[in-house]
Amino acid sequence: MEFSYYPGCSLKGSAQELDESFRSVSEKLGVVLREIPDWTCCGASSAHFVDHYLEAALPAGDLLKAERMGHDVVAPCAGCHVRMKAASQRIFKEPELARQFPFQGKIKVMSGIEMFHLGEVMKQLKERKVKSLEGLKVVPYYGCLAVRPIEVVEPEDPENPIQMDEVLELMGAEVLSWPYKTDCCGGSLALTRTDLVVKLSQKLLDMARSVGADALVTMCPMCQANLDTRQVDISKAAGRVYHMPILYLSEVIGLALNDPRAGSWFEKHIVSPKNMLASKGLL
């Protein structure tokens, strides 16, 4: 199984552990990732606010390159995935864009969660799983961009997505029920309205703790960064200590596959999951 791979800016910067874990576990599952050559920024999360043309033009160039490669394209970052899907839809609606970017729609634009949930990938995960994650209690956090805008992402269930849940369950983790799967963490307000990010992120962490979660699992670099880096601020505001690991789905898959590089991914986290995972015999 082969895909064109669009890492995007975050995976080359603040979310290197997502890039590293996604590539590593894909290789272990027999999935070949061909990075799009000379890819450019997709514009997330600011271009669609400031320039209607660039909103589509930036990811459209990468779509054309991926289509020439001849494989469906996977974008692990939720923001990149949305921008690429939105651009592909606009090209078919706007003749001027279509003239400049003759994307024909021969390939699908896929999120990281969708790729891991494919039947063949799930089959390989089941067959190649080295150890069960039994005892690890997690809440899947999809965030906004995994399901919205609905008309762009076209999720099976925008209120209760279950793809990540099923991947986690296949690996033996205990997936806890909680009502904030798709609530907002504050997203791109991280720098402009830190107060809102702290408030919204605290709500998510409080609920995760109340249902007994050991960790939150996500595939959005922005969500991971907000929830991971703001816990010191949240602790100061709340007057109690918050220490909830925020893991990427690909990192959790790496644990089940017994990937020896997992420890290096976790070193990039602000809230280290190492002690928690070690206490459960998973690291």
Same domain, 274 and 182: yes
Is 135 part of a structural domain of the chain? yes
Give dist(CA 80, CA 87) in Å, integer.
11
Predicted local distance difference test score (pLDDT) of residue 213: 98
What backbone phi and psi angles, to 5 degrees, belong to 150? -60, -40
Same domain, 146 and 257: yes
- What CATH number is associated with residue 94? 1.20.1050.140
Is 99 part of a structural domain of the chain? yes
Among 45-49, 116-120, 126-130, 203-207, name the one with the lowest average pLDDT. Answer: 45-49
Same domain, 244 and 274: yes
Please give the share of the chain, as a percent, with pLDDT higher than 90.
93
Same domain, 263 and 136: yes
Same domain, 251 and 225: yes
| Domain end point (choices 83, 113, 143) | 113
Give dist(CA 283, CA 279) in Å, integer.
8
Output the 3-class SS for the chain. CEEEECCHHHHCCCCHHHHHHHHHHHHHCCCEEEECCCCCCCCCCCHHHHCHHHHHHHHHHHHHHHHHHCCCEEECCHHHHHHHHHHHHHHHHCHHHHHHCCCCCCCCEEEHHHHHHCHHHHHHHHHHCCCCCCCCEEEECCCCCCCCCHHHHCCCCCCCCCHHHHHHHHCCCEECCCCCCCCCCCHHHHCCCHHHHHHHHHHHHHHHHHCCCCEEEECCHHHHHHHHHCHHHHHHHHCCCCCCCEEEHHHHHHHHCCCCCHHHHHCCCCCCCHHHHHHCCCC
Give dist(CA 39, CA 59) in Å, integer.
9
Same domain, 139 and 258: yes
Structure token digits, residue 269: 């986290």
Q: Which of 234, 232, 238 is nearest to 197 (CA)?
A: 234
Task: Work out the pLDDT band at 8, boundaries 50, 70, 90.
Answer: very high
pTM: 0.97
Please give the share of the chain, as a percent, with pLDDT higher than 70.
99
Give dist(CA 83, CA 86) in Å, integer.
5
Is 120 part of a structural domain of the chain? no
Task: Work out the pLDDT band at 190, boundaries 50, 70, 90.
Answer: confident
Is 200 part of a structural domain of the chain? yes
- Range of the structural domain that residue 165 is part of: 129-279
Predicted local distance difference test score (pLDDT) of residue 45: 66
Same domain, 222 and 168: yes
Predicted local distance difference test score (pLDDT) of residue 172: 98
Same domain, 103 and 145: no
Summarize the confidence of residues 98-123 as an average pLDDT: 98
Same domain, 184 and 80: no
| Domain end point (choices 79, 113, 147) | 113
Summarize the confidence of residues 51-80 as an average pLDDT: 96
Among 36-50, 66-80, 147-161, 264-278, name the one with the lowest average pLDDT. Answer: 36-50
Is 123 part of a structural domain of the chain? no
Question: Contact 18/74 with Cβ under 8 angstroms?
Answer: no
The predicted-structure confidence for 143-186, as pLDDT tens digits, reads as follows: 999 999 999 999 999 999 999 999 999 999 999 999 999 999 99
Is 183 part of a structural domain of the chain? yes
- What CATH number is associated with residue 273? 3.40.50.11810
Is 7 part of a structural domain of the chain? yes
Same domain, 228 and 272: yes
State how many domains the chain has. 2
Same domain, 162 and 33: no
Predicted local distance difference test score (pLDDT) of residue 75: 98
Q: Which of 96, 93, 89 is nearest to 53 (CA)?
A: 96
Is 225 part of a structural domain of the chain? yes
Same domain, 107 and 14: yes
